Structure formats: C-alpha cells, structure tokens
A and B are shown apart, each in its own frame.
Chain A
Amino acid sequence: MDTVRVIFKRPFALGLLSLILVLLATLPLYATDYTVILLTAILMYIAITVSWTIFSGPTRYISLASAAFFGVGIYTSAILGKAFPLLAVIGIGGFISVILALFIGLLTLRLRGMYFIIFTFGISELIKNSLLWWETNRTGTVGRWVVAVDHTTVYYIMLAIFAVALLTAYLMRHSKLGLALQSIGDNEEAAAHAGINVTLVKVITFAISAFFMGAAGAIMATRWAYIDPRIAFNPLFSFMPVLMAIFGGMGQLYGPILGAAFFTYLEEILITKFAYYYMLIFGLVLAITILYLPNGLAGLIQKWRKGGVAKQRTDT
C-alpha cells in the first residue's frame, strides 16, 4: 500500500505527528479551560479549511458554499439537538451537508471559473435569506436555542472531526481519486479524455468535503447556545477557509493547517478589543499574500528548504 510506504519513509514526521496527537488528546487534563476553548476554535477552522482544500485545492474550483454546509450542521444541531444523542446529531449534520453538496454539485456541472464561485456564494445566501424569511414569518422567532454541551466534550469531538478530516485529506492526496482531481485542476478536458469520470469525481469529492463542515457546524452550535440564520450562515465562514488555505498554501497538507491556526490565534488575541484592526490586518495579510506569496506559507517553506538543499550541494 502506497500510504503505508509513504508514512514509513518519514519516521520523523510520523513521530512528530503522534506526539502532537497525544498532546492534543491529553490536553484537557492539564490545560486551562481557556486553552481548551481556544484550541477548539483552532481545530474547527483547521477542519473546515482542510476539508475545503480537499475539493478546491487540486481542482482550483473556488467554492464559497462552506457557510451553507457549516450552517446546515448548525441548524441540524438546533432542531434535532433535544431529540437525538449528540453523536447522532453530528452524524446527521454531516450527512445533510453531504446531500446538499450532492445537490449543488449536480446543479453546477456546467459552471466553471467565475460562474462556479458566484453560484456557490449565491446558493449560501439564498439558503440564509429563505431561512430568515421562514423563521420570521412562519416560526415567529428568528433565533433558536441549542442544547449546551460541556467544553471538554466539544473539544474531543472537534479533535475527532479534525483528525478524521486530516486523515481523509492525506489519504485522498495519495489515492487515485486525488490524482484524478489533480488532473481535473490541470486540464479538465484532458482529464475527461483520459477516461476520468470528471463529474463523478468532482461531485463525490465536493460531498466528502461538505461532510466535515456539516459535522463541525453541528458541534460548534452547542458551544454558541443561541443561533439565528445570520450567525449560522455568516458568509465569513465561506471566506475564511479560502483565505486561510491560500495564506497557508495549498501545495502541502500542512499549509492550510498553518493558515487556519495563525488566523484563529490572531482573531483570538485581537477580536475582543480591536475587532476592526483584526479585520483590517486580515485584509492586508490577504492582499500581501496574494501579491507576494502566491503559494502561501507552505510555498515559502518549500522554497527555503529547497534553497537549503541547493546550498548544501554547492558547498560540497
């Protein structure tokens, strides 16, 4: 199996990864509540960003539907939270997002480039506004209360979603499906001529990436306690993964992780006191990244490492 070989080739990376996972798993035993809550947020953004990258990274189809999948998870939690056990609710949240993704995927078969971007944005906003209208006119209350869950449980579930999302992203990169996606990104016509069922590959991958966003939304809802359509379907949840993934760099798996962790931490230290400055810095970092770091932080690290190797070669 390819995967196993790749992992065994890098004993150092494997060791580091296990160490980080053990640290993360035992964290609530010794860390403060504040750290646990902060890490939950970081894990959430990493999970969303990594799952966004699963589809949009190799295919270069920029999806702005993340808010829709995330929001669907949130609303699943709000509506079914009382009736079902927590894990079932999270599973259902992910599952409904998958169905929505299949639906959007089938609708957008013919759309490419700019049209795909604005379509995915439009559909999220349509869902938000329809829900808002429904809640105001039919239910009578705009917001809903969500059954609260203690933050250690939220943390562990988020850690699980994060781990599974990461593993999926890793396996996809080293599978035939990943290669197919890559070739779609390089040249869709050529990929189709090479015998790849372009539609099937795109739609399935889109649905897989939606699952994690829905699941993450379902568990995050229990942290927020009160939600309404504007909170649940906030377009920022569509923009953030894109920006985080680009800032981190999509060429490497660790890129989106770096990007998400950096921005979530920045948000944490700035947003309460200097919210406007946070968003301002956010915009500046984004603009500068696109201008000068088209491959993101990961690209910079790759370049630096290659530069190091080249230098060693010239030295000897």
Chain B
Amino acid sequence: MLVTALDIVIGGLIMGGIYALIAVGLSLQYGVGRVLNVSHGEFIMVGAFITYSLYALFGISPLISLVICGPFLFIIGFAIHRTFFQYLRNTSESLDAFEGSSLLASFGLLFIIQNIALLIWKANVRGYIYLTTSVSILGAVFPANRLTALLFAVVISLAFYIFLRSTRLGKAIRAAAEDSSVAGLLGVNIHRVLAICFGLGALMAGFAGALISMIYEIQPTMGMQYTIIALIVVVLGGLGSITGSLIGGFILGLIGSIVTYIDPGLSLIAYYVIFILLLLVRPRGILGR
C-alpha cells in the first residue's frame, strides 16, 4: 500500500517537475510578452535533440548539455522575438490584435521548426540509455535518471523563481508583466525585457527538453503534446502567473500519475477534462488575478 502510494506520488512529482518547467516558460512568454507561443513544444524538442545528438555523437553527458542547449535556445528565442514578434507588436493596432496575430505567427514557427528538425533528424523515434540504475525509496523503485530529472527540474524552477524575485532584471520583468506601457514609462527598456522573457521561455524549454530526453523517447513531432500540457498547466495556474504555473505543474503531474495508475489510456482525457472544466468554471486558474 505504502509502496503503491509512493510510486504514484513520486512518479507524479517527476512528471510534475517537468510540467512545471515547461509551463513556466510558456507562462513567461504569454504573461509578459502576450505571445501564446504554440511552438513552445518545438523548442523543447530542439533541446531534446541537441542533448541526444551531443550524447550519441560525442558522448557528452545530458547534464552538461543542459548548460549548452539552455543558453543556445535563449539566443534563438531572443533573436526571434527581436526580429519577428517585436515587428508584429509594433505594427499591431492593439494588444488584443497582437495576441491573435502572434498566436498565428507562432503556429508558423511551429511548422518551420518542426519540419527543419524532420529534415535534419528524420521522423524516427530515438532514445539513449543514461543512468538507468534503480534506486529504492522506502521500497518503491525508480530509475536514477528520473530522480535526477526531478532534482534538476526543482533546482532550476527554484533558481528561476529566486531570479524573478530578487534581481533587478527579475523586477523589470515583473513590472512589464503588470503593465508594459507603464513599465516602459518608468524606464524599463520594454522591447529588450520582452525579448529576454521570450528567450527565457525558450531557455526553460531547452532545459526541459534535455531532461525529457534522459527519460523518454523523443521524435521531431513530439512538441505538440508538451505544448498542450504546458497550456493546460498555465490555465490551471492562471494565465500569466509564474507561481501558479509551478504549483499547477506539480498538481497536474500528480493527477496524471493517479489516473495513469487507474488506466494509462485515460490520462490525456483527464487532462483535457480538467482543462475544459477549468475554462468553464474558473478561467482565471488557481492563482490568476
């Protein structure tokens, strides 16, 4: 009984850690930049494939790849926002119009990134073996790679949270999230901050991708499922709330783990039911304003 419960809870936390990580990225991009980036999962996929390729070609440990693909995706995200979304934001009539057009533009981005990846890595399912020794926690057995992924997900989330709370840039980001035009008036370089936010979202996606490649099979079309999960978590936590996304990720992970225990085929359905009920009953989410 205890072992089963531990199985479900720790299994849920492992999934939840990754969900939280990917949701924080999306939440940052939408909450601050008003870009509902549906290509978020594609950034995760790129992170996963870079990690895979570095491991398969050069034997570089995925934990080192974290430090490589995170910053790499940050630069890509920053550049995309600076050229693409900034132009769109400047030419849009209103912020609402920008929300709509940036959503559609990120669909374009989704197709572009996914198909470049398909051309490079082909459509095969891939995976590698890393840290599969089993670790026993009070009788419940987990592969070491999953626990490592959980540890890193928690550490990265916490570090990010502290960064937002206590650094100067973090304050500028929170100010921009509250009201970008007022933040601009108060001397925040708004375009730079928005681009940094988009880049940070991509950075989180890169970290998540690296961790995901350690424990799950990966393929170039995997992005959509993670985008959807991130979207559900972001709605669960409240659109735009970073803390909400962190908590929401773990809640969804736990629910997923419980449902998977009952019937693995039902977990995705459960996610959608939660999603739809939330939108109907409490669209602001658990911590939304």
Interface of A toward B, CB cutoff 8 Å = 60, 62, 107, 110-111, 113-115, 117-119, 122-123, 125-126, 129-130, 133, 136-137, 235, 239, 242-243, 246, 276-277, 279-280, 282-287, 290-291, 294
Contacts and interface: CB of A to CB of B under 8 A. Distances in A.
Contacts of B280: 107, 110
A242 B269 contact: no
B115 A280 contact: yes
B114 A279 contact: yes
B58 to A, nearest CB: 26
Interface of B: 36, 84, 87-88, 91, 96, 99-101, 103-105, 107-112, 114-116, 118-119, 224, 228, 231, 235, 239, 265-266, 268-269, 272-273, 275-276, 279-280, 283
Contacts, number: 101
Contacts of A291: 84, 87-88, 91, 105
B100 A62 contact: yes
A286 B111 contact: yes
A115 to B, nearest CB: 5
A125 B272 contact: yes
A125 B273 CA distance: 10
Contacts of A125: 228, 272
Contacts of B101: 290, 294
A114 B239 contact: yes
Given A126-B269, A129-B269, A136-B265, A290 B228 contact: no
A71 to B, nearest CB: 15
A111 B275 CA distance: 14
A119 to B, nearest CB: 5
**Interface residues of chain A: helix, strand, loop or mixed (majority):** helix
B115 A113 contact: no
B88 A113 contact: no
Given A60-B100, A246-B104, A280-B115, A118 B231 contact: yes
Given A113-B99, A286-B105, A291-B87, A122 B276 contact: yes
Contact of A111 (B111, B265, B279): B279
A246 B112 CA distance: 18
B283 A115 contact: yes
Given A129-B269, A286-B104, A287-B84, A114 B99 contact: yes
A137 B114 CA distance: 32
A276 B265 CA distance: 30
A246 B100 CA distance: 12
A277 B119 CA distance: 8
A173 B217 CA distance: 50
A272 to B, nearest CB: 15
Contacts of B108: 283-287, 290
B115 A118 contact: no
A235 B221 CA distance: 13
Pairs A-B, 6 closest by C-beta atoms: A283-B111, A287-B108, A286-B108, A283-B112, A126-B272, A280-B115
B273 A126 contact: yes
11 contacts: A107-B280, A126-B275, A129-B268, A133-B265, A136-B265, A279-B115, A280-B111, A283-B108, A287-B109, A290-B88, A294-B91
B113 to A, nearest CB: 8
Contacts of A114: 36, 99, 103, 239
Contacts of B269: 126, 129-130, 133
A6 to B, nearest CB: 29
Contact of A276 (B36, B119, B235, B279): B119
Contacts of A294: 91, 101
B248 to A, nearest CB: 15
A276 B84 contact: no
B36 A243 contact: no
Contacts of B119: 276-277, 280
A290 B104 contact: yes
B273 to A, nearest CB: 7
Given A118-B36, A283-B115, A290-B104, 9 more contacts: A62-B100, A62-B104, A114-B99, A117-B103, A125-B228, A129-B272, A282-B111, A283-B112, A287-B109
Given A118-B235, A126-B276, A129-B268, A283 B104 contact: no
Given A107-B280, A113-B96, A126-B273, A286 B265 contact: no
Given A242-B104, A291-B88, A133 B112 contact: no
